[in-house]
A and B are shown apart, each in its own frame.
Chain A
């Protein structure tokens, strides 16, 4: 290997004593990202020099802000900000490349030894002789965290390019891996590097490879040792011709090469993959800092005398350029938000363009600087987001705004505004995709991938694989599913009676995103299937009867059949939040836009009917301001529901033309030390797991037990102090409207609605009971008008009479009178239309006899039918007619009212009510509507009161059982 000489130029005066004989000082050299400028500093000189790389002859710009030697330099990844640390205990920030002093970011009590920006530039780590490493938010200069754990002074800091870890090294040779997310120590490697003691011209450094997979640390045997990113295990070492220990090392931008400088005053260039040195250079002084030029094939070096130089063409032209194929960090792939990627690229364009247009750039013979740069930037931002998620730290200072909307932030950000901060605010609030019923990853603990009313899927990660177990709550019903070993690392799952679906995000290039379906029972032997997604990542999965849905990072909804047939691929409106399936229906929640300025998320839901291939419903998903969606799914009855982080459960009902109704509010029931983890709900109860704070989710270890909670609508506190009754009142109405809706649907489909009617009757009876109690409490607090309104809502005649008795007992004769008149009015209204059609439509004797019979048997009828209310709305008539039939004279009346109905049709129905409903779907609808809207109209009437068998018995004619009842008008005479 030839030895070339390298011309060094003085940048910093050597320390007092003159010449090269003085104490060696620790000098630093740094390239900016565009390779326009080179920054140097020396621990014996308070000045920082910014040299223009394009005009080497022009004098450097000198920054004199420190009062003592500068020991550490760092440039933010977007090259807009320079940080320096000094022996004078301060860390200062400058604009770059202008060099305007911006702020003193922090002060220590002892000298600073190391500085590092994270890859997004949002965070600066500073450390030195003080005991803690400070993580500083560069936007506002706040200390995000102080990491304590080193015994000696910290001399090396390095952020993992993937933004998860920080590695630090102290003068005693101890390396600590910190997890940035939690601030905890992951690994402590003691004494793996030389102990430099108190000589601060020699410091221990460490450096992550650009892909973040390995950490390079100077070893004890004059070598460089590589440690694994995750396990901190020793991977290999670069050992060769260094005669003394390595004091500085630097990865080439693509991570293929490494420059190391030793105490033996030589610099070696290594091919890391081959673990071989490829070039070396001897210097007069020890080289204490090196920096690869980000663009091109050269290395900047600075020695302890403060002389710097440029080693051009470091890597022989026969080998790959040190900047070729700069790796993307691996998290790049995991980012599914296309929207933001685009924004990034857009944003990077100007700078990339700038570098192309720069004539000085071309001389470095780069194959394609702009696209490489863009690539790199992109990964920077990806990093940034991931980090923001974890740390909620802020973004890089970026003095020049490129986009108009950035200006908004200017004032608040103290001039440091920038794209990053905007993206941060958006990113930190737009929640990631999640699976309903899953719990977060906890190291070393089993967690739920899915927990619903049917069963649970749990997983625990072991070395290199996961162990998945599937359990059914009802062990008798569900099959016994053997536990499985999962080599994919599934993070999403869903389970129903028929099968389970799993999916994993992609991790790097070799581990593609996979979707797997396992049926629980199948006649075919190998009916498990899996799909792989290239360049796309599954974000959410859902299961229904006979279909599997997966929503991917490309906002595609993919529907597969149970057998694995790819049936539909649909593009969704936005990035998915979550999805849930129930029988034929699939509901998907997507982000419909960025967060509002208030920080509220904007989400939309879509319901698809998979078997019919239709879109059943679409709309906005309401969220409590400032909350996140926590759970999303269907109730046992198939109603869509959501639960947000503020503890509000909403259910999508047909009330008010299809609205989300808040049915449960945790703040109403909550004891302060509990939180509710929703699993499911039915019409009357919420099924949840109660977690004692501070836990927000259940642990697998103690098998969680479901608790039933009653719904509690967030009602205003009323003056009658009967909140539970008012709650019950609204719930009953919701329930009732639900039943009517179903009845309508069933009737339209020609199904039997008898059982639904029984339900409706029960609910109505319960509702009347509740109303009566409400009337009592209204009377007690002297709200007579409200009591009167309530009486009008009673559905059973008996209840109205009860209410009269009640107010009489309460000594409110006025009210009793009023109630009486209400009752009379209703009876009248009920009677009128009943008789009217009979009289009007059929003049035959038979009808009038029937009507007369009815009139007779209504012993309690107060008014005669002399004033039939023909003006009553249609639905009243309908109800009346129905009632009339119920009274039991016969179907005739029914037929009379709707003579157009063919008898054949009528025979199908088991009772008159059915017939009535079938006869006039429209009217029924209206009637349902009346119930729903709680119309004060008395016509909500007494449809049930007439069910009373007594009355039927009272009928002049023997009333036969419905099935045998003649459905033919001709049989009238027979009844007569």
Chain B
């Protein structure tokens, strides 16, 4: 989706991002028998007791709320995996470890609704918080390196929530830089109609065009 280069960027609220994240698939272990569900996003099921099935997160949460299933936490949500990710995050200055795009939202939803299904929930929770902090700190520090010449920012493996937080700032900052640049005489070599790159779900590269 392309972000309109207007002063008030269309931002997502955390709830909206969470809503988007609910489409991610997750494994559940139902404790009831149910025929397959034919949904717009696909067919899920059949559901047999004690046999794992993959369903969207929203469905998993809905079933969980009714006590019809247990959610199997995704593989990356284990203590050892997260510990490794956290260490790697701390070790590398600029690199971001690959985590699911919606890791913050998924873990949040699971902590809220399926706390009994996650082994070592406190450990997992604090690890994820740590990872989030470390990563956000990295984002901030990389933003500090902005200068007048910066016309684009490229960060790989940034997650939805993280990009959502920095998006307004980065966009505005780049725009202001650009504006200031264009005030300087004869430096405005940049054509006004530079091809506008789409914001590829914040993962890719975003070029912001001033006017």
Which residues of A does B touch, CB under 8 Å? 472-477, 687, 702-708
Instruction: Assess A474 versus B29: contact at CB under 8 Å? Given A703-B70, A705-B50.
Output: no
B14 part of interface (Cβ distance < 8 Å)? no
* Top 5 A-B pairs, shortest CB-CB distance: A473-B49, A474-B49, A473-B50, A476-B32, A475-B31
Instruction: Assess A705 versus B29: contact at CB under 8 Å? Given A474-B49, A687-B51.
Output: yes
> A704 CA to B70 CA in the complex, in Å?
12
Point out the residues of chain A lying under 8 angstroms from B31, CB to CB: 472-476
B209 part of interface (Cβ distance < 8 Å)? no
**Contact indicator B29/A477 (Cβ below 8 Å):** no
**Contact indicator A475/B50 (Cβ below 8 Å):** no
**Contact indicator A475/B32 (Cβ below 8 Å):** yes
Picked from A474, A703, A705, the residue with its CB within 8 Å of the CB of B32 is: A474
Picked from A475, A476, A705, A706, the residue with its CB within 8 Å of the CB of B72 is: A705
- Give the residue among B31, B33, B68, B70 with the most A Cβ atoms within 10 A: B31
The smallest C-beta distance from B195 to any residue of chain A, in angstroms, reads 48
> A705 CA to B27 CA in the complex, in Å?
11
> A475 CA to B119 CA in the complex, in Å?
22
Point out the residues of chain B lying under 8 angstroms from A687, CB to CB: 51
Point out the residues of chain B lying under 8 angstroms from A707, CB to CB: 51-52
Contact with A along B30-49 (1 / 0, CB 8 A): 01110000000000000001
**Contact indicator A474/B70 (Cβ below 8 Å):** no
Point out the residues of chain A lying under 8 angstroms from B33, CB to CB: 474, 476-477
B67 part of interface (Cβ distance < 8 Å)? yes
Point out the residues of chain B lying under 8 angstroms from A702, CB to CB: 119
- Give the residue among A477, A687, A702, A705 with the most B Cβ atoms within 10 A: A705
- Give the residue among B29, B49, B72 with the most A Cβ atoms within 10 A: B49
| Beta-carbon nearest neighbor of B32 in chain A | A476
> A705 CA to B29 CA in the complex, in Å?
7
**Contact indicator B32/A706 (Cβ below 8 Å):** no
**Contact indicator B67/A475 (Cβ below 8 Å):** yes
| Beta-carbon nearest neighbor of B69 in chain A | A475
A-B contacts besides A476-B33, A704-B50, 10 pairs, CB < 8 Å: A472-B49, A473-B50, A474-B49, A475-B31, A475-B49, A475-B67, A476-B32, A476-B68, A706-B51, A706-B52
| Beta-carbon nearest neighbor of B117 in chain A | A703
23 contacts between A and B (CB under 8 A): A472-B31, A472-B49, A473-B31, A474-B49, A475-B31, A475-B32, A475-B49, A475-B67, A475-B68, A476-B32, A476-B33, A477-B32, A477-B33, A702-B119, A703-B29, A703-B70, A705-B29, A705-B50, A705-B51, A705-B72, A706-B51, A706-B52, A707-B52
The smallest C-beta distance from A687 to any residue of chain B, in angstroms, reads 7
> A702 CA to B119 CA in the complex, in Å?
9
| Beta-carbon nearest neighbor of A679 in chain B | B50
Query: Main secondary structure on chain B at its contact with chain A?
Result: loop
| Beta-carbon nearest neighbor of B34 in chain A | A476
Point out the residues of chain B lying under 8 angstroms from A704, CB to CB: 50
The smallest C-beta distance from A473 to any residue of chain B, in angstroms, reads 3
Query: Main secondary structure on chain A at its contact with chain B?
Result: loop
Contact with A along B178-204 (1 / 0, CB 8 A): 000000000000000000000000000
| Beta-carbon nearest neighbor of B33 in chain A | A474
Within 8 A of A (CB), among B58-75: 67-68, 70, 72
> A704 CA to B29 CA in the complex, in Å?
10
The smallest C-beta distance from B117 to any residue of chain A, in angstroms, reads 10
> A648 CA to B137 CA in the complex, in Å?
55
The smallest C-beta distance from A745 to any residue of chain B, in angstroms, reads 26
| Beta-carbon nearest neighbor of A687 in chain B | B51
The smallest C-beta distance from B119 to any residue of chain A, in angstroms, reads 8
> A887 CA to B4 CA in the complex, in Å?
66
| Beta-carbon nearest neighbor of A473 in chain B | B49
The smallest C-beta distance from A707 to any residue of chain B, in angstroms, reads 8
- Give the residue among B29, B32, B50, B70 with the most A Cβ atoms within 10 A: B50
> A472 CA to B50 CA in the complex, in Å?
10
Point out the residues of chain B lying under 8 angstroms from A473, CB to CB: 31, 49-50
> A707 CA to B31 CA in the complex, in Å?
14
Point out the residues of chain A lying under 8 angstroms from B29, CB to CB: 703, 705
The smallest C-beta distance from B65 to any residue of chain A, in angstroms, reads 14
| Beta-carbon nearest neighbor of B66 in chain A | A476
> A805 CA to B181 CA in the complex, in Å?
70
Point out the residues of chain A lying under 8 angstroms from B70, CB to CB: 703
> A708 CA to B47 CA in the complex, in Å?
13
Point out the residues of chain B lying under 8 angstroms from A708, CB to CB: 51
- Give the residue among A474, A475, A703, A706 with the most B Cβ atoms within 10 A: A474
> A140 CA to B136 CA in the complex, in Å?
69
> A475 CA to B32 CA in the complex, in Å?
6
| Beta-carbon nearest neighbor of A475 in chain B | B31
Point out the residues of chain A lying under 8 angstroms from B68, CB to CB: 475-476
| Beta-carbon nearest neighbor of B27 in chain A | A705
The smallest C-beta distance from A775 to any residue of chain B, in angstroms, reads 31
Contact with A along B153-188 (1 / 0, CB 8 A): 000000000000000000000000000000000000
Point out the residues of chain B lying under 8 angstroms from A705, CB to CB: 29, 50-52, 72
Point out the residues of chain B lying under 8 angstroms from A476, CB to CB: 31-33, 68
Within 8 A of A (CB), among B1-55: 29, 31-33, 49-52
> A89 CA to B68 CA in the complex, in Å?
68
Point out the residues of chain A lying under 8 angstroms from B119, CB to CB: 702
Point out the residues of chain A lying under 8 angstroms from B52, CB to CB: 705-707
Instruction: Assess A706 versus B67: contact at CB under 8 Å? Given A473-B31, A474-B31, A477-B33.
Output: no
The smallest C-beta distance from A611 to any residue of chain B, in angstroms, reads 26
- Give the residue among A476, A702, A708 with the most B Cβ atoms within 10 A: A476
> A477 CA to B34 CA in the complex, in Å?
12
| Beta-carbon nearest neighbor of A474 in chain B | B49
The smallest C-beta distance from B50 to any residue of chain A, in angstroms, reads 4
| Beta-carbon nearest neighbor of B52 in chain A | A705
| Beta-carbon nearest neighbor of B72 in chain A | A705
Point out the residues of chain B lying under 8 angstroms from A474, CB to CB: 31-33, 49
The smallest C-beta distance from B72 to any residue of chain A, in angstroms, reads 7
> A476 CA to B72 CA in the complex, in Å?
20
> A705 CA to B67 CA in the complex, in Å?
17
Point out the residues of chain A lying under 8 angstroms from B49, CB to CB: 472-475
> A475 CA to B69 CA in the complex, in Å?
9
The smallest C-beta distance from A439 to any residue of chain B, in angstroms, reads 16
> A854 CA to B143 CA in the complex, in Å?
82
| Beta-carbon nearest neighbor of A682 in chain B | B48
> A707 CA to B119 CA in the complex, in Å?
20
The smallest C-beta distance from A386 to any residue of chain B, in angstroms, reads 36
Within 8 A of A (CB), among B94-141: 119
> A115 CA to B35 CA in the complex, in Å?
68
